[in-house]
Amino acid sequence: MQLDPAQQKILDGEQGQAARMAMEILVALGRIYGALRLAPVRSVQIAGVSYHNLGDAGLEYLADLAVDGKVQVPTTLNPAGMDLERWTEMGISEDFAAKQRRVIEAYTRMGVSLSCTCTPYLLGNRPRRGETLAWSESSAVTFANSVLGARTNREGGPSALASALTGVTAIYGLHLDNERRPTLAVHATCPLAGSDDWGLLGAVIGKTRPGALPWIRSRTRPDDSELRALSAALPTFGGKPMFHLQGVTPEAEQHRPPDDVLTVDRAMIERTRAELESGDDTIDLVALGCPHASFEELETIAHLLDGGRAVVPLWISTARGTLERARAAGIVQNIEALGGHVWADTCFAVAPLKGRFARVATSSAKGCFYGSGHNLFRMRLGSLEQCIAAACSGTWT
Ligand code: F3S
């Protein structure tokens, strides 16, 4: 792999220890994957923020890099393990909060923006078509590649941080035209409605054909929240972090549908829902906002709650910028007045919640996967309407 003189200087340590270590990571990755060059990135999004996932080893690694590391491009973070302002209300322990704050301090010293969200593209960091990125949250990577037409591999936390500290990434994988070709045609023959259905479509594809990059034809056109649900589920269940959707995504018409065809009907969607669910009919947490809720989703949730009242915890995760906008519009107050909680900076999959809840309802197929896998919750997966009804009754219908 060829380095230009500026990149070689970084590798030689002329810009400090952290930048040198970062460049070593990128060069090693580039060699493993056969990259010919490094290219500048427009922005970086870093996963590996929750102390729950990082542990002490991760925290010390970040603290070491923060001694002289400085990010070179706009860089944001994935959700942390707690709402950074209202963690006591979330029931987070002082010990966990102290460790989480040290993680955030290390990133802050490196110049990372304190926007802890998996939807940075809703908050001003919306890449343009063809832009080179180094993002690591899988739902954001898939949305950026598919819906926005930007280019990023699904980076690990360390490689994304390495790109932030150097401003470059190794060009291989989904940065290359060839690798963005679809490998599987998917015909969704049933109408799909709501984030749960679109997430289940991603789950069906990922589980049935792991590693596929699908070219999808659907009778129904998804809205933005449904595209986010599909983006979250597809890589979670084994698909590539990219899809083409006929008539919707910007690169779909550049490709012919592959000969290998997967037909998805309602029976497959419902079978997959049943496989993901393990709950009974009593619910003790309703968790929404996976991926992080948009302003419009918060509006919808407030509307659905209107006239009722949550009798079990109703937690909605969002980005702090979205929360502030929704608070200014009175939406957050309406949700809170009816028993809901809108948390920023975090989500129920990365917060330390194991043992605190047992039977959880969500509208997110990805949330279902992590809820049962990480936190050992018994999950229910349904529409926003079903989830709000469960929050107001404590039962799943
Ligand atoms: Fe985002 Fe957490 Fe879901 S990071 S995609 S809300 S699991």
C-alpha distances in angstroms, 113 versus 108, 116, 206, 291, 397? 7, 8, 32, 19, 42
C-alpha 12 to ligand 1 mean position (Å): 37
**To test the ligand 1 pocket, which listed residue (231, 294, 366) has its Cβ within 8 A of the most ligand atoms?**
366
Q: Is 79 in the pocket of ligand 1 (CB under 6 A)?
A: yes
Tokens of 195: 């984030």
Tokens of 308: 């009722």
Please give the Cα distance from 225 to 57 (Å, whole number). 36
Q: Is 43 in the pocket of ligand 1 (CB under 6 A)?
A: no
Residue 40's φ and ψ, nearest 5 degrees, are -65, 145
Q: Is 22 in the pocket of ligand 1 (CB under 6 A)?
A: no
> What's the half-sphere exposure (Cβ side, CA atoms, 13 Å) at 330?
1
pLDDT in tens, 243-255: 999 999 999 999 9
**Quick one: pLDDT at residue 374?**
85
**Quick one: pLDDT at residue 124?**
83
Q: Is 173 in the pocket of ligand 1 (CB under 6 A)?
A: no
> What's the half-sphere exposure (Cβ side, CA atoms, 13 Å) at 259?
0
C-alpha 277 to ligand 1 mean position (Å): 18
Q: Which atom of ligand 1 is nearest to the CA of 139?
A: 5
| CA nearest ligand 1 atom 5, residue | 291
Closest CA to 41 of 117, 105, 136, 111: 136
**To test the ligand 1 pocket, which listed residue (136, 292, 362) has its Cβ within 8 A of the most ligand atoms?**
292
Please give the Cα distance from 323 to 301 (Å, whole number). 13
| CA nearest ligand 1 atom 3, residue | 290
3-state secondary structure 150-166: CECCECCHHHHHHHHHH
Tokens of 111: 């110049």
Residue 332's φ and ψ, nearest 5 degrees, are -65, -40
**Quick one: pLDDT at residue 191?**
97
**To test the ligand 1 pocket, which listed residue (317, 318, 369) has its Cβ within 8 A of the most ligand atoms?**
317
C-alpha 255 to ligand 1 mean position (Å): 30
| CA nearest ligand 1 atom 2, residue | 347
C-alpha 64 to ligand 1 mean position (Å): 27
**Quick one: pLDDT at residue 44?**
98
C-alpha distances in angstroms, 204 versus 213, 233, 237? 13, 9, 8
> What's the half-sphere exposure (Cβ side, CA atoms, 13 Å) at 280?
3
Closest CA to 244 of 289, 213, 207, 281: 213
**Quick one: pLDDT at residue 314?**
98
Instruction: Tell me if 38 sits within 8 A of 163, measured CB to CB.
Output: no
C-alpha 290 to ligand 1 mean position (Å): 5
**Quick one: pLDDT at residue 279?**
72
Q: Is 50 in the pocket of ligand 1 (CB under 6 A)?
A: no
C-alpha 95 to ligand 1 mean position (Å): 23
Q: Categorise residue 76: left if φ over 0, alpha if ψ from -120 to 50, beta otherwise.
A: beta
3-state secondary structure the chain: CECCHHHHHHHCCCCCHHHHHHHHHHHHHHHHCCCCEEEECCEEEECCCCHHHHHHHHHHHHHHHCCCCCCCCCEEECCECCCCCCHHHHCCCHHHHHHHHHHHHHHHHCCCCCCECCCHHHCCCCCCCCCEEEECCHHHHHHHHHCCCCECCECCHHHHHHHHHHCEEECCHHHCHHHHCCCEEEEECCCCCHHHHHHHHHHHHHHHCCCCCEEEEECCCCCHHHHHHHHHHHHHCCCCCCCEECCCCCCHHHCCCCCCEEEECHHHHHHHHHHHCCCCCECCEEEEEEEEECHHHHHHHHHHHCCCCCCCCEEEEECHHHHHHHHHCCHHHHHHHCCEEEEECECCCCCCCECCECEEEECCHHHHHHHHHCCCCEEEECCHHHHHHHHHHCECC
Instruction: Tell me if 212 sits within 8 A of 183, measured CB to CB.
Output: yes
Q: Is 150 in the pocket of ligand 1 (CB under 6 A)?
A: no
User: What residues of the chain score a pLDDT lower than 50?
Assistant: none
**Quick one: pLDDT at residue 66?**
97
**Quick one: pLDDT at residue 392?**
98
Q: Is 154 in the pocket of ligand 1 (CB under 6 A)?
A: no
